[in-house]
Copies of this chain bind each other. A is one copy, B any other.
């Protein structure tokens, strides 16, 4: 256990200067003879350059901080894995932080900043604007994913939730559903607010004045619970729009427990298009979030900001699509 092998030792063994060893591992021009000797010596000693020391002198970490709240919500694992692969592909390492959903990251951000991350990607967490200012002043770009915020310092990429929710309203209305309901997610998330607004605005625009509402928390159990409340009404809904897929799946199971048939007695439509929505037991009609595209744009903004921290911030919205399965009565796939 010779814990630390440094470039100095490799240099000594290879009979070159420490600078030369550094050059070999930085891919800078070095005579072939020297390179071979250095590589051989490094091999024998089990040398790996110390990335921390390198960061120290280059003042560049190539580390991206990723802040996620609920990794366990089925929408996020894919998001995380995709970010990870894309980031690894451009030689950035990922320092992962978690914060509870709807918690501000005021305590996470300073910590992340200490690690001199090149940029911070923040998923499903609300961000206070003082902190936004701090990071702007410090020159550490922050990009929000699937969350929006009004702060002009902050860039964000999200789904077009207004549009998506309107599409859901149309899908239900076009197929003749008359008693509609909305199952909300966590109240203080921007996604939930936007989806609720999009849904209600479209209903009103089409002359529907009333609909039922139940409060959920973006979880399976809360969707199940919300659907039960809705179904207990003397005038139960015949079309339910859930703020996300996982609640929609809970709602489906609740409906079936009552002996009702989904897509016949009651229609359900979700938002996200998570893998389980396609599973045989559910066949959930839903509004997709185009995750790959959202991630692509998030990384593009991040790169821009890293290269030019003064580049203007912006919010991009990616339109989702209506994914037709069998949970909404009367909808034919195109």
Give residues in A with beta carbon < 8 Å to B. 1-4, 46, 48-53, 55-56, 59, 61, 63, 66, 70-72, 74, 76-78, 80-81, 84-85, 88, 93-98, 110, 113-116, 134, 136-139, 220, 224, 249-250, 252-254, 256-257, 275-276, 279-282, 309-310
Residues of chain B lying within 8 A (CB to CB) of residue A71: 77-78, 80-81, 84
Of A93, A95, A224, the most chain B CB neighbours within 10 A belong to: A93
Assembled-state Cα–Cα distance A300/B253 (Å): 40
Q: Which of B77, B134, B256 contacts A72 (CB 8 A)?
A: B77
Residues of chain B lying within 8 A (CB to CB) of residue A55: 52
Q: List 6 A-B contacts (CB under 8 A).
A: A1-B136, A1-B138, A3-B138, A71-B84, A84-B97, A256-B280
Assembled-state Cα–Cα distance A61/B51 (Å): 11
Residues of chain B lying within 8 A (CB to CB) of residue A136: 1
Residue of B nearest to A114 (CB): B51
Residue of B nearest to A63 (CB): B95
Q: Are the CB atoms of A48 and B114 closer together than 8 Å?
A: yes
Assembled-state Cα–Cα distance A254/B245 (Å): 22
Q: Are the CB atoms of A1 and B139 closer together than 8 Å?
A: yes
Assembled-state Cα–Cα distance A81/B61 (Å): 24
Residue of B nearest to A140 (CB): B3
Of A98, A257, A275, the most chain B CB neighbours within 10 A belong to: A98
Q: Are the CB atoms of A56 and B48 closer together than 8 Å?
A: no
Assembled-state Cα–Cα distance A224/B280 (Å): 9
Q: Other than the known A84-B97, A94-B95, what 9 A-B pairs have Cβ atoms closer than 8 Å?
A: A3-B139, A48-B110, A52-B116, A71-B81, A77-B77, A88-B97, A95-B96, A224-B280, A256-B280
Q: Are the CB atoms of A254 and B280 closer together than 8 Å?
A: yes
A95 and B95 contact, Cβ closer than 8 Å, known pairs A279-B249, A280-B224, A280-B253: yes
Residues of chain B lying within 8 A (CB to CB) of residue A93: 95, 97, 115
Q: Are the CB atoms of B114 and A50 closer together than 8 Å?
A: yes
A281 and B253 contact, Cβ closer than 8 Å, known pairs A56-B56, A72-B78, A114-B48: yes
